[in-house]
Chains A and B, each alone.
Chain A
Amino acid sequence: MTDLSHHSQVWTYRTPRKRLFIWLGWLALVALFVWCWQIMTETTIWMFVTDAPRQAADMGGRMLPPRWAYLPELMQPLWDTINIATLGTIGGVIMAVPVAFLAARNTSPSVTFLRPVALFIIVASRSINSLIWALLLVAIIGPGLLAGIIAIALRSIGFVGKLLYEAIEETDKRQIEAITATGASQAQILSYGIVPQIMPAFWGISVFRWDINIRESAILGLVGAGGIGLKLNASLAVLAWNQVAVILLLILGTVIVSEWVSAKVRHAII
């Protein structure tokens, strides 16, 4: 016990130098914030901002009470929206699976050529928002559900493809080695060594993407790609705020249900 006194009682987590750097870092961050705030507020018309609570209350007042009589008219567009999301997801997943196998380092037939091509497809799909895909497709194939479905499918390829190829790369090599050692062909190695290992990821990703697509397809109507967004657009155009309120509540309800379904399914698989 006595030899404890030989040792220092002082121990610090960081050296003084490090502490100084961290302090300077925070200072720089605060300075940056102040500077940005000034630029941001330069063009703000403060009268509008101070007026905001009153405007919001006014809009809220026009929304209330929601025009529930409008609800039956929304059922068909809602059904369209769900169909856009579901069919779009299925289409996207079907296209994403081969892309994922081409992009994964351990299954790609050509790492130097096909893998970059597959990665490019994934990045291209992910970099363009569904709404923009829909804008382009409405211009190409005309307004309607089909444009929405294809827009959702194209946007989903990147998301599903990226997560799936990461799952493929994370598979256990020993299981694949064991299947290879039996004299299995390449296709059999895929179906016995890799597919069983990525099945939980596959279903989890697909259902998750479907859940996201329900939300995204609700607004595609804004650009003419069908679904409940068309009704939203129409109601906004005539300032029928009590109808807008009904539509927003309906979308909220649908999203909650889809989220619940997707959570249930993912829980059941894992």
Chain B
Amino acid sequence: MLRLIGLSKTYKTGDTALSDVSIDVARGQLVGLIGPSGAGESTLIRCINRLVEPSAGQVMLGDTDLAQLGTADLRRQRRRIGMIFQEYALVERLTVMENVLSGRLGYVPFWRSWLRRYPPADIRRAYELLDRVGLMQHADKRADALSGGQRQRVGIARALAQEPELLLVDEPTASLDPKTSRQIMRLLTEICEERNLPAIVNIHDVPLAQQFMQRIIGLRAGRVVFDGPPAELTETALTTIYGAEDWNAMRQGDEEQAEAQADAKRRLEQVPA
């Protein structure tokens, strides 16, 4: 479905964000991208729909090399790729419905989008999606009136309105609390399963990635250093990805947090109800 061949990106400042990344993603596969901050996960995702221009390599979506396209062709191909963002990136001052319909922008002429006169089929699909993500009654609210979890659901609906063949997901849970994070990840995985959609999810939370992803790719300094199922993501593998010091610090942090939570729970239980 998606095949990256020798993808590299060097920024004008001389920083190499990606070097020679080659990945195959099959239809319906959920791929989690993990790695320390600045390892190039965000750049990798943005090179696929060319929000960032790759310096070298091919991005094959089906039979089309996205890296070679001119502006008009690139716009047409971008419709096939839905993107979900960290901190939602909704247009805050537009309504939920307008945000979902904005997923159709690549399909409708300018005058329709300007006058908000979308084709009936698009409107029905938008309502279906809002129903699917559980926001039917919020359709006419402004996006900035919703909570974080609700906004990310709008973000998901907007991406699906494109009827994409691939989802790119950039840290979908970075600004959400743990419970909402799990709900959003569950919704994402369910939707991908329903539609047999492949997704590349850039995710910082390793346990969350292990729980929800079918395949994990570890990046370090712009190179793929791990590629396999979550079960193979051993201590050694994580040490390779994050480096010994950082991984131990992260694990220790997790342990401390778990202990603190257990402790708080015990204290709560002691309090007479």
Contact = CB atoms under 8 A, between A and B. Distances in A.
Interface of A: 172, 174-175, 177-185, 187-188, 191-193, 196-197, 199-200
Interface of B: 49, 51, 75-79, 81, 83, 85, 87, 89-94, 98, 102-107, 110, 113-114, 155, 158, 162, 168
A174 B87 contact: yes
A167 to B, nearest CB: 13
Contact of B89 (A174, A187, A200): A174
Given A174-B85, A178-B85, A184 B94 contact: no
B87 A181 contact: no
B79 A182 contact: yes
B51 A181 contact: yes
Nearest to B80: A183
A199 B81 CA distance: 29
6 closest A-B pairs by CB: A183-B106, A183-B78, A184-B105, A178-B89, A183-B79, A174-B89
Contact of A183 (B105, B114, B158): B105
A192 B89 contact: no
B75 A185 contact: yes
Given A187-B110, A192-B102, A180 B90 contact: no
Given A182-B104, A188-B105, 16 more contacts: A174-B89, A178-B90, A178-B155, A179-B102, A181-B51, A182-B103, A182-B158, A183-B77, A183-B105, A183-B106, A184-B75, A187-B110, A191-B114, A192-B94, A192-B98, A199-B93
Contacts of B49: 181
Contacts of A199: 93
**Quick one: which of A177, A181, A187, A191 has the most chain B CB within 10 A?**
A181
Nearest to B106: A183
Contacts of A179: 91, 102, 105
Contacts of B85: 174, 177-178
Given A174-B87, A177-B51, A188-B113, A183 B94 contact: no
Contacts, number: 79
25 contacts: A175-B91, A175-B92, A177-B85, A178-B89, A179-B102, A180-B51, A181-B49, A181-B51, A181-B78, A181-B81, A181-B83, A181-B168, A182-B78, A182-B102, A182-B103, A182-B106, A183-B78, A184-B75, A185-B105, A188-B110, A191-B110, A191-B113, A192-B94, A196-B94, A197-B91
Contacts of B76: 183
Contacts of B105: 179, 182-185, 188, 192
A199 B113 CA distance: 17
A242 B152 CA distance: 67
Nearest to A193: B91
Contacts of A200: 93
Contacts of B81: 181
**Quick one: which of A174, A179, A188, A199 has the most chain B CB within 10 A?**
A188
Contacts of A192: 91, 94, 98, 102, 105, 113
B114 to A, nearest CB: 6
A181 B51 CA distance: 7
Contacts of B79: 182-183
B198 to A, nearest CB: 17
A131 to B, nearest CB: 38
A178 B75 contact: no
Contact of B90 (A175, A181, A184, A187): A175
Contacts of A188: 105, 110, 113
